[in-house]
Structure 1
Amino acid sequence: MVQVTRTIKAPMHEVFAVLADGWAYASWVVGASHIRGVDDTWPEVGARIHHSVGMWPLTIQDTTAVRAVDSPHSIELDARLWPIGAAIVRVELRATGPTSCEAVMTEEAVRGPGRLMPPALQAVALRPRNRESLSRLADLAEGGYMDAREGSQEQ
């Protein structure tokens, strides 16, 4: 299992709002390139994001499904990228103050060839990508994502 942590200068509920918006998935998940659809029930357990991964025209179309959710504290995803495999990804948020929180992202390959990689090799491959994903998540939350969403809903 690979784990990365980042302090985010935004309230926990605002960070979770980014996670709860399936259409924002490709904005913070490194490798996701296009969202084709989001189930209306996202982020409820069982809901899916239909996404493409990779650079066009060499993309793989697959889905990511919610395995568990405890708003605004955590979300656990079954992230698929077949034929490479699938991983369980969990993002936990812990308040560190009224306007900040700590995000902890863990990922574990559970199906496919990726599961056969030794843990140390998985860490080398996944840690930089997951650090960048948390950096993008932080950028969205700190950069006024909630303000932009609220403004677009008023129109």
Structure 2
Amino acid sequence: MIEVCRIIGTPPERIFAVLADGWSYASWVVGAAHIRAVDDRWPAVGARVRHRVGPWPLQIEDQTVVRQMEPNRLLELDAHAGPLGIARVRLALEPISAGATRVRMGWKAAAGAARFVPEAVLALMLRPRNSETLHRVEDIAVHRQLPAP
């Protein structure tokens, strides 16, 4: 599994609020271009975000499905990307103080063509991409005004 880690200066609840907002998915996932629909149950297990991935005009309509979820602690997704296959993405949140959270993002090819690419080659592309993803999560979680629960 290819993993990146970032310490974000906010509690896990604020970070999970970003992850739990399916309509914000394209704001923090590098490569996601447009959200077409979000299941009302998101981020419950089995819920889906339907999105487009890739640069215009070569976008692919696809989806991401929740595999596992523990509020404020864990979100595991199957991110579909057309012929490239399915990526298993795991976002684990660990409080390290009252105002800081360690976020670990793991990525592995679960199906499709990406399974045949050596992990070292994938890591060269995905570590920077996934680091940028966590940077975007941080920007939203730290700076966005969240709706009242």
Task: Give the TM-score of the pair, scaled to structure 1.
Answer: 0.93
Find the residue that maps to 2:17 and give its secondary structure.
Answer: helix
Length, aligned pairs only: 149
Segments of 5+ residues of structure 1 without an aligned counterpart are none
* 1-structure distance, mates of 2:58, 2:88: 24
1:87 paired residue number: 87
Q: Where do 1:99-114 residues align within 5 Å?
A: 99-114=99-114
Q: Where do 1:5-154 residues align within 5 Å?
A: 5-146=5-146, 149-150=147-148
Find the residue that maps to 1:137 and give its secondary structure.
Answer: helix
* 2-structure distance, mates of 1:145, 1:130: 24
* 2-structure distance, mates of 1:109, 1:6: 22
Find the residue that maps to 1:83 and give its secondary structure.
Answer: helix
- Paired AA for residue 28 in structure 1: W
* 1-structure distance, mates of 2:47, 2:144: 26
* 2-structure distance, mates of 1:56, 1:6: 30
Any conservation in 2 of the 1:18–1:145 contact (CA below 8 Å)? no
- Paired AA for residue 93 in structure 1: L
Superposed displacement of residue 81, structure 1: 0.2
Please report the RMSD computed on the Cα atoms of aligned residues, expressed in angstroms.
1.1
Superposed displacement of residue 144, structure 1: 2.8
- Paired AA for residue 106 in structure 1: G
Q: Which runs of 4+ in 1 moved over 4 A?
A: none
* 2-structure distance, mates of 1:101, 1:111: 31
